[in-house]
Chains A and B, each alone.
Chain A
Amino acid sequence: MRRRTILVLGLVALAAVAGACAPNATQSALEPKGPYAQKGFDLFVPVFWVATAIFFIVEGVLLFFIIRYRHRKARATMPPQVHGNTKLEIGWTILPTLILAGVAVPTVATIWDLAAEPQGEVLQVTVLAHQWWWEFDYPDQGIITANELHIPTGQPVYLTMCAVGLGYEQQIAPSTCQDQPAAVGDSVIHSFWVPELAGTQDVIPSRTTYLTIQADEPGTYEGQCKEFCGLSHAYMKFKVVAHDPAGFDGWIAEQQAPAAPSPPGDPEAGAGVFLGTCTGCHAIAGLEDPNGNPLIANGGPDLTHFASRDCFAGCMLATTDENLRRWLENPPAVKAGSWMPDYGLSDQELDQLVAFLNALE
């Protein structure tokens, strides 16, 4: 008996230590970095300790009983046949009820607190979950980006979220998912989670869901889709990049500019490859289709400032030449189920395309 309990206690102690320190975990719910994550964490901690106390009490009593009342060889009589004790049993029905009532009150208060739409100066962002990448639209700033959500520190960011499918024609700030029924047709449920900044919110076709996040300090916060969404569920990640307010304004200004003109040579040739191959799904602000119309993304990320992003393909890959080339050569071989097909580009075309994308600062 003792061995097991030592083991259990040891594991719990380890869990507490590792959980409290979490030295390497970069996507940890145990290290809130903003008020909305903090609210949940402030409930988690006391409930964890109450649960831990109950755990030690119950296991302690169990251990004490099985040691104290173990069979001894000398014993010949049967123990007294006690069938129960109504007062005691009513007592241990009421006691947990009181403890749970104590837990329920702050729980309910926080549920309502977190569900309220933030007031004051709030950044509005529309989150569109695709299979398997994230699109972030800034309706008031006229910006579209992918897999990297840039936010200012110290300000609530109110996310309006929809899940969309391949037929989704990109526009800045769709007000709800219901606006594009054809686009939700082949979409599935995802879940938006950046644990250091907030709890989870599912993103569901045909429903609009909302979440408030906020970061107190500048930094990069890891996030990931949490609801199983098919083949590349594991590779539907994103980053939230928090800037100080001045830095955020600078970022906005950069993103609002149209795409940098391609320098001559490989990048310019790459632009040709792009216009010939990629515009069925991808758009770049500043480029036009052969008829002179602006490009509209249809199912794929907007690439206007692609080179300013640290990662791509649902943040599966860091933005390096090597990764880009590998990706463009055969996307489904890199990321299972990727809707971006293998276009059979030549080595030269691949080089040109990589050079073109790298120039999209």
Chain B
Amino acid sequence: MASVSIPTERPGGLLRRPSATTGVWSWITTVDHKKIGILYGVTAFFFFIVGGTEALLIRLQLAQPDQAILNPSVFNEIFTMHGITMVFFVVMPLSAAFFNYLLPLMIGARDVAFPRLNAFSYWAFLFAGIFIYSSWFLGGAPNGGWFGYAPNSVVDPTRGMTFYAIGLLIAGIASTVSAVNLAVTIINMRAPGMTLFRMPVFVWMGLVVQLLLAFSLPIITIGLVELLFDRLFGTHFFDPAAGGDPVLWQHLFWLFGHPEVYVLILPAFGIISEILPVFARKPLFGYQFVVFSGIAIGFIGFGVWAHHMFAVGLGPVANTAFAVATMIIAIPTGVKIFNWLGTLWNGDIRFTTAMLFAIGVISMFVIGGLSGVMHAVVPSDYQQTDTYFIVAHFHYVLFGGAILGLFGGMYYWWPKVFGRFLNERWGKVQFWVTLIGFNLAFGPMHILGLQGMPRRIQSYPESLGLTFWNLVSTIGAFTIAVGTLIFLVIAISSFRKPKQMVADPWDARTLEWLTTSPPPVHNFDDIPVVHSLDELWHRKYAETGGGRVVPVPAGGSGDDAHGEDHGDGHAIHLPSPSYFPPLAALGLPVLGYGLIFGLPFVVAGLLIMLVGLYGWVLEPSAE
């Protein structure tokens, strides 16, 4: 087991390893995947509020025609930061929070494969966020859109897009490291008997997402490095005057950007594939179909990027090819929806808040999926592209799909993580407020786009006749904000009650519910031995002929971890906390500032990183 380090006392060790288990230092030095998962979650939620505030500012500015609440310069910064924040600092890390916390538990492992790298990923992600946001105070935030199209992103005279390129490079390092770490964890650290096709769908989606990241991030890295070189060192990758090609950026960006879309949505698909069976009290309908369609989406996702570029003028051959590929990717996506419906069929459906969110994902994602197919109809997309119709479409996918799914996941796993329920009654209030606000905010954008409202415009004249639906949309956005505030109150007030949680409050199906809530630092006293898909359920119930179900008497299963005579967790050695992952990660933004502010920062950044990395290598393996 790679996560269990061997306590060899190394006399030459440079530093003693930190040993705090509570307090601030325990969080800073932690290498425990559960604590790191919580850190990811809290940080991502903080950025959710920041990015949401930016969205509200955009909606305020656009609530009425000809307004000047935000001038064009600030408006461009705000919509750019909203996109960057929500994609890279909310949905990705919130998904990472779930993956970090749950993947090891779901596969019966004690930690991820490389615990210190895991900590490094979190800190690099956090510093990337702080780095990009520091641009507000250091000469202006990125203002060329999250898509950063060259040459606009190159010729812009402010520092914003330099911060964008460096910040996303740092975030990319964090994501790449984490992707490799989690993929290795899933492949190598499954409990005995946990074959690939006994893995929960959420783990499968986790694996697909990590592979998507591992293969798509290098592409955006190339693009960002080229952008940075064009801006800082006078290269001409995207400079048409010197023979560079601005369209090259679009290919690099979307060849990353489209797989990225699935990086954002597949975690939510995984989450609701766990929630639906538990509360329909039936196994997932067609597990293998759902898994294979997830894998298919992952593969085909690399072959559809130019559907973001139908209006570029790539020619009818390219447009035909990418239209057909885009329609093909709709097929496995549709399969998932039908399988979820099949899961509900003939079930015994309990409407917990988590279940409401999961059902909400299905009903809202259908809309985003269908409008997605409409974009594949290229001549139709010639009108829809770069209008609010597109904004409506991807918010139905990324909010109606990803964010609703992630909220559902929070209600579902909160008892496991914190040993307390989120208030179900108020949770349902939040669900309805969020759902109604969401449809008010983004539904009208379909109409606005078709009626001629381009994206990214700071203002529109009254004469275009777009006023009414813009106002409705703004009201919807503020309704979503109310829903989010309700969640915040629910989340904070959940900690006022003492922990009193059983291991398995939902009568669930997967291994994370086998251990206590919250789990001990070593996850499982004994590593479970897995005999089937939905292992936990099969330890509780047996299927007789014809699909009838009978409970297994307590302790009747020979594998019940607590039924065996060893395993109080005292003999388990876990990796010790470490100062060095956050230190090494800290070198990245300092180095980044060096690219903007000059040599002293470069030297400082390199020194911090060197100390971090050498300390990392040389520190003793246990306290």
Q: Are B282 and A82 in contact (CB under 8 A)?
A: yes
- Quick one: closest B residue to A193, CB to CB? B454
> Contacts A4-B432, A81-B283, A107-B377: A93 and B546 contacting too (C-beta < 8 A)?
no
Q: Are A81 and B241 in contact (CB under 8 A)?
A: no
Closest beta carbon of chain B to A163's beta carbon, Å: 9
Q: In the complex, which residues of chain A have a beta carbon less than 8 angstroms from the beta carbon of B380?
A: 40, 43-44, 47
Q: Are A80 and B454 in contact (CB under 8 A)?
A: no
Q: Number of residues in A with C-beta < 8 Å to the partner?
A: 103
B492 on interface, CB distance cutoff 8 Å: no
Q: Are A25 and B464 in contact (CB under 8 A)?
A: yes
Q: Are B241 and A181 in contact (CB under 8 A)?
A: yes
Stretch at the interface among A137-145, A204-212, A255-263, A283-291: A204-212
- Quick one: closest A residue to B465, CB to CB? A24
B246 on interface, CB distance cutoff 8 Å: yes
- Quick one: closest A residue to B541, CB to CB? A78
B149 on interface, CB distance cutoff 8 Å: yes
Closest beta carbon of chain B to A39's beta carbon, Å: 6
B226 on interface, CB distance cutoff 8 Å: no
Q: In the complex, which residues of chain A have a beta carbon less than 8 angstroms from the beta carbon of B339?
A: 84, 89
Q: Could you mark each residue 339-355 of chain B with 1 if its beta carbon is under 8 Å from any beta carbon of chain A, else 0? A: 10110111111110000
- Quick one: closest B residue to A96, CB to CB? B334
Q: Are B287 and A84 in contact (CB under 8 A)?
A: yes
> Contacts A7-B439, A65-B345: A51 and B370 contacting too (C-beta < 8 A)?
yes
Closest beta carbon of chain A to B381's beta carbon, Å: 8
B156 on interface, CB distance cutoff 8 Å: yes
Q: Are B447 and A111 in contact (CB under 8 A)?
A: no
Q: Are B311 and A26 in contact (CB under 8 A)?
A: no
Q: In the complex, which residues of chain B have a beta carbon less than 8 angstroms from the beta carbon of A58?
A: 337, 341, 366
Q: Are A207 and B313 in contact (CB under 8 A)?
A: yes
Q: Could you mark each residue 523-567 of chain B with 1 if its beta carbon is under 8 Å from any beta carbon of chain A, else 0? A: 000000000000000000101001111000000000000000000
> Contacts A207-B247, A228-B149: A27 and B451 contacting too (C-beta < 8 A)?
yes
Closest beta carbon of chain B to A87's beta carbon, Å: 11
Q: Determine the distance from Cα of A77 to Cα of B541 in the docked complex, in whole angstroms.
A: 12
Q: Determine the distance from Cα of A36 to Cα of B245 in the docked complex, in whole angstroms.
A: 29
Task: Pick the contact of A81: B342, B349, B456, B549 (CB < 8 A).
Answer: B549
B177 on interface, CB distance cutoff 8 Å: no
> Contacts A4-B435, A81-B547: A27 and B344 contacting too (C-beta < 8 A)?
no
Closest beta carbon of chain B to A249's beta carbon, Å: 30
Q: Could you mark each residue 41-73 of chain B with 1 if its beta carbon is under 8 Å from any beta carbon of chain A, else 0? A: 000000000000000000000000000000111
B19 on interface, CB distance cutoff 8 Å: no
- Quick one: closest A residue to B392, CB to CB? A15
Task: Pick the contact of B72: A48, A210, A232 (CB < 8 A).
Answer: A232
> Contacts A18-B469, A22-B451, A107-B376: A80 and B546 contacting too (C-beta < 8 A)?
yes
Q: Could you mark each residue 167-194 of chain A with 1 if its beta carbon is under 8 Å from any beta carbon of chain B, else 0? A: 0000000000100011011111101010
Stretch at the interface among A120-128, A195-203, A272-280, A344-352: A195-203
> Contacts A29-B384, A96-B330, A233-B458: A200 and B378 contacting too (C-beta < 8 A)?
no
Q: Determine the distance from Cα of A107 to Cα of B316 in the docked complex, in whole angstroms.
A: 11
A108 on interface, CB distance cutoff 8 Å: yes
Q: Determine the distance from Cα of A182 to Cα of B374 in the docked complex, in whole angstroms.
A: 40
Closest beta carbon of chain A to B623's beta carbon, Å: 48
Q: Are A205 and B341 in contact (CB under 8 A)?
A: no
Q: Are A62 and B344 in contact (CB under 8 A)?
A: yes
A269 on interface, CB distance cutoff 8 Å: no
Q: Are A26 and B463 in contact (CB under 8 A)?
A: yes
Stretch at the interface among A68-76, A148-156, A299-307, A323-331: A68-76
> Contacts A100-B373, A232-B72: A200 and B386 contacting too (C-beta < 8 A)?
yes
B234 on interface, CB distance cutoff 8 Å: no
Closest beta carbon of chain A to B427's beta carbon, Å: 15
- List which A3-51 residues lie within 8 A (CB) of chain B: 3-5, 7-8, 11, 15, 18-19, 22-30, 37, 39-41, 43-44, 47-48, 51
> Contacts A78-B549, A207-B313: A107 and B379 contacting too (C-beta < 8 A)?
yes
Q: Are B546 and A11 in contact (CB under 8 A)?
A: no
Q: Are A92 and B334 in contact (CB under 8 A)?
A: yes
Q: Are B374 and A26 in contact (CB under 8 A)?
A: no
B320 on interface, CB distance cutoff 8 Å: yes
Q: In the complex, which residues of chain A have a beta carbon less than 8 angstroms from the beta carbon of B452?
A: 25-29, 195, 222, 224
B134 on interface, CB distance cutoff 8 Å: no
Q: Are A229 and B152 in contact (CB under 8 A)?
A: yes
Task: Pick the contact of B323: A7, A71, A108 (CB < 8 A).
Answer: A108
Task: Pick the contact of B386: A69, A108, A191 (CB < 8 A).
Answer: A191
> Contacts A71-B350, A111-B379: A228 and B327 contacting too (C-beta < 8 A)?
no
Q: Are B383 and A81 in contact (CB under 8 A)?
A: no
Q: Are A226 and B386 in contact (CB under 8 A)?
A: yes
Q: Are B465 and A65 in contact (CB under 8 A)?
A: no
B94 on interface, CB distance cutoff 8 Å: no
- Quick one: closest A residue to B71, CB to CB? A336
Q: Are B443 and A40 in contact (CB under 8 A)?
A: no
Closest beta carbon of chain A to B325's beta carbon, Å: 11
Q: In the complex, which residues of chain A have a beta carbon less than 8 angstroms from the beta carbon of B316?
A: 111-112, 115
10 contacts between A and B (CB under 8 A): A4-B435, A29-B449, A37-B383, A47-B374, A58-B366, A80-B546, A186-B241, A188-B152, A189-B152, A234-B459
Contacts A8-B367, A234-B456 known; 9 new A-B pairs at CB < 8 A: A29-B449, A71-B351, A82-B345, A84-B342, A111-B316, A200-B382, A206-B241, A228-B144, A233-B76
4 closest residue pairs by CB, A with B: A199-B382, A24-B465, A27-B452, A206-B240
